[in-house]
Amino acid sequence: YRLAEEGPADIRIGNVASDLGIVTGSGEVTFSLESGSDYLKIDNMTGELSTTERRIDREKLPQCQMIFDENECFLDFEVSVIGPSQSWVDLFEGRVIILDINDNTPTFPSPVLTLTVEENRPVGTLYLLPTATDRDFGRNGIERYELLQEPGGDGGRRGGGGGGGGRLQVADTLDGEKQPQLIVKGALDREQRDSYELSLRVRDGGDPARSSQAILRVLITDVNDNSPRFEKSVYEADLAENSSPGTPILQLRAADLDVGVNGQIEYVFGAATESVRRLLRLDETSGWLSVLHRIDREEVNQLRFTVMARDRGQPPKTDKATVVLNIRDENDNVPTIDIRKIGRIPLRDGVASVAEDVLVDTPIALVQVSDRDQGENGVVTCTVVGDVPFQLKPASEGEGEPQNKRKYFLHTSAPLDYEAVRDYNVVIVAVDSGSPSLSSNNSLLVRVGDTNDNPPVFSQAVLEVSFPENNLPGERVATVVATDADSGKNAEITYSLEASPLSSEAPGGIFSIDPDSGDVSVQAVLDREQRDTYEFQVTARDKGVPSLQGSTTVVVRVADRNDNEPRFMQDVFTFYVKENLQPNSPVGMVTVMDFDKGRNAELSLSIQPGDHDQAASIFSIENDTGTIFSTVSFDREQQTSYTFKVKAVDGGEPPRSATATVSLFVMDENDNAPTVTFPSNSSYTVLPPSSNMRTVVATVVATDADTGLNADLNYSIIGGNPFKLFEIDPASGVVSLVGKLAPKHYGLHRLVVQVNDSGQPPQSTTALLHVFVNESLSNATVVESQVARSLHTPLAQDIAGDPSYELSKQRLSIVIGVVAGIMIVILLILVVVMARYCRSKGKHGYEAGKKDHEDFFTPQQHDKAKKPKKDKKGKKGKQPLYSSIVTVEASKPNGQRYDSVNEKLSDSPGMGRYRSVNGGPGSPDLARHYKSSSPLPTVQLHPQSPTAGKKHQAVQDLPPANTFVGAGDNISIGSDHCSEYS
C-alpha cells in the first residue's frame, strides 16, 4: 500500500479482505492487527485498513531518517485472519510505503556563512561553499543555489576600489547532490579590501517551492608579503653601572604591514656576545631591552650588538638594527689603602715599632691609595684622622701620576713619649670625589719603644696607716707601691726602709719591708698606750742604667681594738599596733649603746628573721633613732603577731654584735564583711502550704574573718517579707515560718537577708533566700526561671507569692519611700543643727574629749574606709610619726607577763605618769623624737598609775630605753560627746 505523510486520521489505506480474496459479511471470519498498531488500525469485520489519530511524519520515523529513496520508507504490519471460534488462524504480513510531501524548507547550517580566501589568489580559483540541508528528498529536495548582489556597498574593513569579487557555480556531486562553489573572478588584495558580504539563496523543487538565504561573508586573509622595518638602524643609549635587574634601557620598535601571524613581530638577539646575552634581557614581544644582571663598568665599559625583528609568517621575514650601549661609571668602588714598610722601621702584621727618641719628621711607613673608578669618582684625597703626632706627605711630586693611584709617606709630626702614650692607633682615611663620595680607612698601630728617663714615683708623698694594737709579730702593716713610667728593666723596682728625716730612730728593729712587693710588716707587738705613732721612709729604686730612685714617708698610727659589745636596754620589746596601718609607719623604738669609741662604737641596726621568715622584708629600722617601721599594711586575718630579732653590729674589726627580741601584736579592726556560705542566691527551698507554724525553712550560714565583736554576727530579714510570714533568728540564722500560709501566698518568695557584724562601724552582707510555696515541685524549670528573673529584679521590689498583689505593693512602696525621704531630710537637719551647736560650744574652753594638738598620747579615730587626703599639690598628707604605736611595759607590777592583747589594763580610771626605765648616762636624749602634732590612737595604761581626771597628759619622764609605760582610759565605742575622737 502507499500513503502520503502528514495526513489526517481515519484515511483509508486499503481493504485487506478483498486484497486477500476473503469473503466477509457473515461474521464468521474476523481480522486482527498484530503489529503496526501505532499508526495503523483495521476493521475486525470488514478488514478495512486505515490510519490512527497519530500523525505520520516521514522525516521523524526512525527507520526513514537516513532514507532518501521514495520506495525505501515504509511501515510493516501483521494481520491475522481468524476463523469461527478461532478454529483456524492465518497470519499475513503487509507494508505501507510512506510518500514524501514538501513540508520542510531547505536551510543553511548558519545564518552567516564565512569563507576564508587568501589574497593574491589567481582568477578562476574555486572555493566550496557550505551546502544547505532539506529533510525532504526527490523533487521536494534542494533544486538550485543563487548568489545575489552584495547587499551593502563596499562591506570591507579597508577602503579602496580595487576590482575583484566572485561568481557562483553549482556542480553535481557523485551522489547526486548540489554543491555550490565560489569562483574568483578578479584580483584580491587584502591591503585594498579585506572582506566581502554576499547573499546566498537555496530553493527546493516542491510546489509551491520553499527557499531560504544566508549571508556569505568572504574574508580575505593575509599572506606574508611584507618584511618588518625598524624605526632606525642604530640605537644608542647610556646605562649607569650597577643598575638593578629589571631596569629598562630602551625599546626597539619595528612595524610590519601584514596582519595576523604575518604581522606579529618578535625581537631576538642577532650578532651578540655571550656577555650581552648574560647581562641583558630582550623582551621578544615588546622589544624592551632591560638589565638582566648588574653590569660593572670596571669589567665592561661598552656593549655593541645587533637585534633582529622577525615576523611569524611562513617563511618568516626579518630586519636588523645595531644597538650601542655605553656603560656610565658610578661611584661604586671605595678607595683601597695599602700600608707598607719603609726604610729600617720594622712593620709586621700592621704594627710598626718606633723608638721614643726618634727625630721629628721621620718617615715610618709607605701608604699607597687607589680607586678603581674613573674621572672624578677615582680622584682620592687621603688624610690622617685623630690627634696623633703623624702626618702624610706625598711620596713624589710628579705631574704624570694618575689621580686614582697615589703614594704617601707617613711622617712623625711631634716628639714621641713612651711614658705619655705607648701605642698610637693611626687611622688613615681615603675619600674619593664622587657624588655621593665613598671612603675607606686603614689603621697602623705605632708602638713606641722605651728609654730609662723616668724615676720611680709614689702616689703619695706621705702615707698614713692605721694599725690596731695587740697585733701578732710579722703582721703586714701596709703595702707601698711605686710606679715607673718606663718599661722592662727600667720599670723593675726594689724597696728599702730608711730613717725619716724628722726622726733619727731607725725603723729596722720594729718594721721591715719586702724588697720586691713593698709589703711593710711589724716585727713587735704594738701598744697604743705606750706609743701611738711611728714614722719612717721607704725608698724605691729601678734597675735601669743609670738607676733612678724615689721615696715616700710612712706614718703608722696605732688604732684601738674593738673589745666591747653593743648592749640593748631590754632583751624583749613588746609593741601593739592596729591592723591596716599605713605602710612606712613607725611601730616601735629600741635603744642600744656601745662603750667603745670611734668606729668601734658606730652601730648598725638591722632586722633579723624570727618566727616569720619574711620579717626582714616587712620591717625596717632607722639606724640613727632605732625606730622600727613597717613596709606593709598589717592584716590581722593573715597574721596576728610578728616576732623577730633586732641586731646591732658595731663597726669594729672584727665586729661585735647583740640582738634583742621584738614582739609585735596586731589588734583587730572591723575590716571584713560577713561572707554568706549558704544558701546561694540562685538556689531555692520548697515549702508545702500545709506547713505548721515554726517550721524551719532554711538556715543562713555566714562567717567573718575578723575576731571578737567584729566577728559576732546577727541576722535579719530586710526585704521580701511583706506578709510577715517568715522570721530569722538573729543569732543562729534559722529562718522559720511564723504566719499562716494562704492561697495568695502560693508561688516564689524572695527573702532579702542581711548579715551584720558587731564591729564599729559594722560591716554587712546581703543574701537572697528563695522559698517556693507549693504542694509539690512538678516543674522545676519554671521555678528556676522565676529564680533567674528574681536575680535581675531590684531588691526594693518584693517578690512574694501571687504576682497579682504586686501592683498594690508597689503603691505602698511609693508611699513608704516618700515618708522615709521626708524623715531623712528632717533627720539631716537635726544632725546639722546639733553639729553646729557642739562646735560653737567647744570654742569657749577645754572640753572632755577635745583634741589637744600638742598632746602626744590622745587617741585618734581613723576611718580606714577614707583615703588620706592630698594637698593642693597632689602630695599625700604627712602621717604622724607614732600615730599607730601602742607600747606596754614588758611585765606587770608583780612581775607577771600579760597573757594576751585582750587582757584589760584599764582598771585605773585616770591617766598615769610615765616613768623612766633605768639607763646609763650614755643614753641619748630622745625627747626630740616624741614631738608630734598627731597623737597615738590607742594607749594601754599601767594599773598602779595615780588617778587623774584629765584625759590628756603631758610627756614628763622620757624612758631612755624607748619603752613607754603608762595607763589610760578605755577607748569608748559610743559617746554622747561631740568630740571628734568620741
Query: Which of 117-131, 455-469, 725-739, 808-822 has the lowest average pLDDT?
Result: 808-822
Hey, what amino acid is at 928?
R
Residue pair 606/647 in contact by the 8 Å Cβ criterion? yes
Residue 64 has pLDDT above 90, yes or no: no
Hey, what amino acid is at 221?
T
Pairing verdict, β 684-687 and 764-773: parallel
The proportion of the chain whose per-residue pLDDT surpasses 70, expressed as a percent, equals 80
Hey, what amino acid is at 155?
G
Q: Is residue 968 very low, low, confident or very high in pLDDT (cuts 50, 70, 90)?
A: very low
pLDDT for res 67: 67
Query: Which of 258-272, 277-291, 840-854 has the lowest average pLDDT?
Result: 840-854
Gap between the Cα atoms of 627 and 882, Å rounded: 10
pLDDT for res 538: 92
Gap between the Cα atoms of 801 and 723, Å rounded: 9
Instruction: Give the tens place of pLDDT for each residue, 722-771.
Output: 889 899 999 999 999 998 888 888 888 999 999 998 888 898 999 999 99
Residue 362 has pLDDT above 60, yes or no: yes
pLDDT for res 479: 93
pLDDT higher for 83 or 156?
83
Mean pLDDT of 879-906: 35
pLDDT for res 174: 61
Q: Is residue 398 very low, low, confident or very high in pLDDT (cuts 50, 70, 90)?
A: low
Hey, what amino acid is at 377?
N
Mean pLDDT of the chain: 78
Q: Which of 305, 302, 237 minimizes the C-alpha distance to 270? A: 305
Instruction: Give the tens place of pLDDT for each residue, 646-689.
Output: 999 998 888 989 999 999 898 888 888 899 989 888 888 889 98
Instruction: Give the tens place of pLDDT for each residue, 303-320.
Output: 999 999 999 888 898 999
Residue pair 204/140 in contact by the 8 Å Cβ criterion? yes
pLDDT for res 805: 53
* End-to-end CA gap in the chain: 139
pLDDT for res 981: 30
Gap between the Cα atoms of 880 and 934, Å rounded: 5
Mean pLDDT of 488-505: 83
Q: Which of 22, 21, 57 minimizes the C-alpha distance to 38? A: 57
pLDDT for res 734: 93
pLDDT for res 373: 82
Q: Report the predicted TM-score, pTM, of the whole model to 2 decimal places.
A: 0.34
Query: What pairs with residue 675 in β-bridges?
Result: 703
Determine which helix (DSSP H) or strand (DSSP E) holds 840, and give its type and residue range: helix 806-842
pLDDT for res 766: 92
Residue 426 has pLDDT above 90, yes or no: yes
Q: Is residue 937 very low, low, confident or very high in pLDDT (cuts 50, 70, 90)?
A: very low
CB atoms near residue 282 (< 10 Å): 23
Hey, what amino acid is at 44?
N
Cα 283 to the chain's mean position, in Å?
46
Gap between the Cα atoms of 515 and 508, Å rounded: 14
CB atoms near residue 456 (< 10 Å): 25
Instruction: Give the tens place of pLDDT for each residue, 196-239.
Output: 888 889 898 888 888 899 998 888 888 888 889 999 999 999 99
Mean pLDDT is highest, among 371-375, 500-504, 627-631, 872-876, for 627-631
Gap between the Cα atoms of 227 and 317, Å rounded: 5
